[in-house]
């Protein structure tokens, strides 16, 4: 995983008692801030995106589960062998015959959402991190079928689709930051989850749940999703950017956080990459240290074995919570 993140596309107070509410709830915001010009994606976000159309109430719309290996367009099924998958949802209107795809992903690629830049003249790490929904006409059958999944999961009415579209607008405007990591106490399924991730698969799960709440009846098929998990003892809350890096901040802690993130920077040579990889192994595995930035706040994770793991775990499709619309 560390190799994957280091090779991902990139652009050029003391300790306080931990909070006791676990997992820490993902924070929603009142609006989406403007992005800094410094943050430039190698691959354009949502290049053919469009507004979600209003469907006629009597329309019957097929809903498809879409899944393919991350960066399948560039590496084929390579990351699929590691079960590192990207998720989306497809729609087909019976009245118009048109297909649509909806997905949620990083505006500035995975590396920027996971680790910051250490910019000269700036004390605090600088984050290029936003995620957003993308809706566009068409379903690229070859992309999803070649190395992944394209399967019908339910049918909905035009009314349900339009209500879902309103929810997507709210979800997209308030849930703006990508969170790569799930952090939990151990590999045991019943173990405490300290932090939950907020990425493409979670958007699809939220969408399915919204449709179920509206009355959609899902087929009984197995659905698996990728999670990247860090294993840690109880996290220690450190503070926010101002309390750590501001004029009255903790200079020792600020230096430690910057030092931790330094090896995750983009690399120019193979030698630099392996030197920093050894530093990462030393800090995360040998010294059991990880600094997490979540909800615009910093936490210290006392890491423990197995430290990090990629899982491809089944999450059942939701059960309708109200009467079906008869579609």
Active-site positions?
A: 86, 200
Q: Which residue is it, tokens 């190698």?
A: 42
CB 240 within 8 A of CB 296: yes
Cβ neighbors of 43 (< 8 A, separation 6 or more) are: 9, 109
């Amino acid at each position: 995983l560390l190799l994957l993140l280091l090779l991902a596309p990139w652009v050029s107070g003391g300790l306080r008692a931990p909070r006791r509410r676990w997992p820490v709830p993902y924070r929603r915001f009142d609006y989406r801030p403007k992005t800094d010009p410094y943050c430039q994606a190698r691959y354009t976000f949502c290049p053919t995106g469009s507004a979600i159309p209003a469907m006629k109430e009597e329309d019957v719309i097929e809903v498809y589960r879409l899944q393919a290996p991350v960066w399948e367009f560039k590496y084929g099924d390579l990351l699929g062998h590691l079960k590192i998958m990207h998720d989306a949802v497809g729609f087909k209107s019976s009245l118009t015959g048109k297909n649509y795809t909806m997905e949620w992903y990083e505006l500035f690629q995975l590396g920027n959402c996971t680790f910051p830049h250490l910019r000269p003249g700036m004390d605090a790490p600088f984050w290029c991190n936003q995620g957003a929904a993308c809706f566009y006409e068409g379903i690229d059958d070859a992309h999803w079928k070649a190395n992944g999944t394209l399967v019908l999961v339910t049918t909905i009415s035009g009314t349900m689709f339009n209500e879902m579209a309103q929810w997507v607008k709210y979800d997209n405007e308030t849930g703006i930051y990508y969170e790569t990591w799930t952090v939990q106490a151990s590999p045991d399924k019943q173990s405490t989850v300290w932090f939950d991730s907020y990425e493409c698969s979670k958007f699809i799960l939220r969408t399915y749940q919204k449709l179920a709440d509206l009355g959609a009846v899902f087929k009984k098929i197995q659905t698996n999703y990728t999670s990247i998990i860090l294993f840690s003892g109880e996290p220690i809350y450190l503070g926010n950017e101002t309390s750590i890096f501001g004029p009255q901040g903790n200079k020792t802690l600020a230096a430690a956080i910057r030092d931790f993130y330094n090896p995750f920077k983009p690399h120019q040579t193979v030698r630099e990459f392996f030197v920093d990889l050894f530093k990462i192994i030393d800090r995360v595995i040998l010294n059991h240290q990880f600094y997490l930035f979540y909800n615009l706040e910093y936490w210290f994770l006392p890491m423990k074995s197995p430290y990090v793991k990629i899982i491809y775990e089944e999450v059942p499709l939701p059960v309708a919570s109200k009467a079906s619309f008869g579609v």
